[in-house]
Structures are given as C-alpha cells and as structure tokens.
C-alpha cells in the first residue's frame, strides 16, 4: 500500500511537470467539480445552460451552451487572488444583441473572406456579407449564435465540456453538412484546452477558433497597453484597407509588427504605418514558426506586470490573429457593470489564414468527405 502511494505521488508530480511550460501556480490539492445552472432562454425560446468547471487548483471556467461562450475565466494572480480575465456579459440577451464575439466559438470560418464569396471545385459560393463587402466570423448567424448540445465529463487530468453542433448544408452559404465537436478541458495543470473536430458530407471550407477577449489584470480593469506580448512568428500577412490579406507574407523584422521578443503592446500600436492605420491598431494574422504542419508549438506568451499573471498559448494551427481591442469604444457595459473602453482587451485567435479560400498560396482550409478537421489550442496559466 505504501509503495502504491509513493508511486501515485510520483505520477502526479510527473504529470504536473509535463503540463506546465512556465512556472506553475500554487496547487492547493482541492477537488475538481462540474456544476450546471440556467442561463436563461434565447429570443426564440431555446434554453441555455451555463456549465461551471473547477479544477483541483481552484481555477474556474464558465461556458454557456449558447455559442460555446467562455463567459468567465477565473485565474489567480501572484498573491493567489482569483480574478476573471475575460470580457463578457451577465445575461444571454446582451450576448445575443450586443456582443462583438465575446468568448465564443467561431465558425464555419474564423476571420474574413473577401467579397463574401469563394470558389471551390469550379463553383462559386456566395456568403452573407456582414463586414462591409466581406464575410466575417461565419456570417450573420455563425456558430456563436446557436445553442450547442453539451456533455460534461471528468477525467484524472481535470474537468471538461463536450459541445456538438450540426451545421446544415448551405447554412450561411457554406456547402455540406458539417458535424462539429468542440471540447473544452480545464486541466489540473492549469490549462484551458480546446479541441476542435469536424467532418463533412460535401467539399467545404472550415476554420474554427475561439474569440475570447483577455485582460490579465481582470476584466474591465483598464486597457491592455501595458501587457507584454511575445508572438512566435517571424512573418505576417499584410492587409488592405478592408483588412483582407493582400496575399503577401512579409517579415516582421524592423517593423511595429515584430513581437518575436516580449514587447509592451502599447509601445508601437499607433505607429505611422499603413498596416496599423487599416486596423486602427493591431488586427492582423501572424504566421507561426513551425517545422511541420499540425505540429504543437508555442504561439504566444502574454504577461501583465501588476497581477503577475502569465498566459501562454500553444496550438497545432499555422497562424494566430492578434487583435488589440481597437473597436471597443466605451459603449458596452459588461459584467459587474464595468464599462469596456478602448483597447480594454486583446484577442489571440489561433487559426488558418484569413481569406485562404481565395488565396491558393495560403495553407488550404478545404475539408472533403472522408477527411477529419482536427486542431488543438491550449491556454496555460501561471504567475511570475
């Protein structure tokens, strides 16, 4: 019996060390927990549940079945005080009517498709134009505006929620019945892991991501200009005036787009550069440094000096969109009555490149019958 206890302790330590890529948060030896509560009903009468996931160290993620939205994410600071680090609303109605994609699953195609159309196998597919002449984040009723089927689970590594949605053929203009599963896991290694899987019965395009707005000082607690950001990316895809990629892939060296070393987000965010003016700050796709397609690599590291919180992002995706909250303007009141001002959060959306269906030189986002779309993104939390 004593040998089994020692062996178990060794295994726990090994798992913890394997899961923490930066200094781990203090572990308190608590128990994992899953709770479900009523989050109201949509305007068309669908019931929405809110799942609360708690890991063994006290980290908490709350996820709604509407849009798969991460409504809250509670992470300790360097003093062990929990803080909610994602922007959002207190009720379902605000998510339906006001949300700029807070915390949701984005699909069928994350980011922009130019002129709201693409050609696949010689046929042109027209999509809903919801961003000027372009198509953005899945259209008028993307995956963020539907209620997903949910199944909670618990493993030795943590707690999670499996969400499933069937996107019907020609929904928002996309061909094929797309069967999508998104699994959130809050691990005892202080990770929020997101696994995306999809299959189709007709050739289509697919590019899924999560659109959480982060502020490591706590949601609503000022802007993110003092956050330090590192992007593991030596290249980016420049855009035109409507934020559609030009098709070029440019080196970041010597430009305000260079985050290969940890840099204050506010250091060059208003630089005299067309790319910055187009997005009113950072709103671009960075090409991650990878040896092989589908390889799990570090994409980003963000730290906030006051709280000491650190977030690393690891992904199998080839790119990441860094958006600095440029279009937040103080007109939205979020959780706890907090007003969300200019650049009060940042988004780091792992993805394939924007407008890939119209750019043959970009990594393909085409999914065909018999193939499985599968990507993973891991957010790891620590302190310094």
Domain residue ranges in the chain = 33-383
Residue 143 zone, left/alpha/beta (φ > 0; ψ -120 to 50; rest): alpha
Q: Do you know the residue count of the chain?
A: 384
Residue with tokens 């189709």: 200
CA-based nearest residue to 34, from 176, 153, 168: 153
241 to each of 116, 132, 198, 276, 280, how far by Cα in Å? Answer: 16, 11, 33, 10, 11
Please identify which of the residues 211, 227, 284, 379 carries the catalytic annotation. Answer: 211
Q: Is 316 helix (H, G, I), strand (E, B) or coil?
A: coil
| pLDDT for res 292 | 87
CA-based nearest residue to 123, from 208, 202, 206: 202
| pLDDT for res 13 | 36
Q: Is 342 one of the annotated active-site residues of the chain?
A: no
| pLDDT for res 59 | 97
Which pLDDT tens digit goes with each residue over 26-73? Answer: 344 577 899 999 999 999 999 999 999 999 999 999 999 999 999 999
363 to each of 114, 158, 204, 356, how far by Cα in Å? Answer: 16, 33, 15, 7
- Residues 256, 215, 138: CA angle, nearest 5 degrees: 80
Q: Is 349 one of the annotated active-site residues of the chain?
A: yes
Distance in angstroms (rounded) separating the CA atoms of residues 264 and 224: 9
| pLDDT for res 29 | 54
Residue 147 zone, left/alpha/beta (φ > 0; ψ -120 to 50; rest): beta
- Indicate the fold that domain 33-383 takes in CATH: Beta-galactosidase; Chain A, domain 5 (2.70.98)
- Helix ranges restricted to H, the chain: 2-19, 92-97, 274-279
Please, are residues 353 and 319 in contact by the beta-carbon 8 Å criterion? yes
| pLDDT for res 31 | 78
Tokens read off for 155: 């493993």
What would the DSSP string read from start to end of 329-368? Answer: -S-EE-GGG-EE-TT--BEEEEESPTTGGG-TTSPP-EE-
Distance in angstroms (rounded) separating the CA atoms of residues 121 and 51: 41
Please identify which of the residues 72, 349, 352, 379 carries the catalytic annotation. Answer: 349
Please, are residues 325 and 213 in contact by the beta-carbon 8 Å criterion? yes
Distance in angstroms (rounded) separating the CA atoms of residues 210 and 237: 20
Distance in angstroms (rounded) separating the CA atoms of residues 265 and 293: 28
Residues of the chain with pLDDT under 70: 1-29
Please, are residues 337 and 221 in contact by the beta-carbon 8 Å criterion? no
């Amino acid at each position: 019996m004593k040998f089994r206890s020692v062996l178990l302790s060794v295994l726990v330590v090994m798992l913890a060390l394997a899961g923490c890529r930066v200094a781990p948060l203090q572990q308190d030896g608590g128990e994992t927990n899953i709770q479900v509560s009523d989050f109201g009903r949509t305007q068309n009468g669908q019931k929405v549940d809110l799942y609360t996931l708690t890991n063994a160290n006290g980290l908490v993620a709350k996820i709604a079945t509407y849009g798969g939205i991460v409504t809250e994410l509670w992470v300790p600071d360097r003093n062990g005080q929990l803080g909610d680090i994602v922007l959002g609303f207190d009720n379902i109605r605000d998510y339906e009517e006001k949300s700029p994609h807070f915390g949701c699953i984005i699909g069928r195609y994350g980011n922009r498709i130019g002129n709201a159309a693409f050609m696949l196998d010689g046929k042109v597919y027209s999509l809903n134009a919801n961003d000027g002449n372009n198509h953005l984040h899945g259209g008028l009723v993307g995956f963020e505006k539907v209620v997903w089927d949910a199944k909670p689970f618990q493993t030795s590594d943590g707690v999670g929620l499996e969400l499933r949605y069937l996107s019907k053929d020609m929904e928002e203009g996309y061909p094929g019945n797309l069967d999508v599963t998104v699994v959130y896991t809050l691990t005892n290694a202080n990770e929020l892991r997101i696994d995306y899987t999809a299959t189709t019965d007709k050739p289509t395009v697919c590019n899924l991501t999560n659109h959480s707005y982060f502020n490591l000082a706590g949601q609503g607690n000022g802007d993110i200009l003092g956050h330090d950001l590192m992007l593991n990316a030596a290249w980016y895809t420049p855009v035109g005036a409507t934020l559609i990629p030009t098709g070029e892939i440019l080196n970041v060296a010597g430009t305000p787009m260079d985050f290969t070393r940890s840099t204050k987000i506010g250091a060059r965010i208003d630089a005299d550069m067309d790319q910055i003016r187009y997005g009113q700050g950072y709103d671009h796709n960075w090409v991650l440094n990878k040896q092989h397609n589908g390889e799990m690599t570090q994409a980003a590291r963000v730290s906030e000096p006051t709280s000491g919180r650190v977030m690393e992002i690891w992904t199998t995706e080839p790119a990441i969109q860094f958006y600095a909250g440029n279009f937040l303007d103080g007109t939205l009141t979020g959780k706890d009555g907090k007003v969300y001002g200019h650049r009060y959060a940042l988004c780091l959306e792992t993805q394939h490149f924007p407008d890939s269906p119209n750019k043959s030189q970009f990594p393909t986002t085409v999914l065909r019958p018999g193939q499985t779309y599968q990507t993973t993104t891991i957010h790891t939390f620590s302190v310094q």
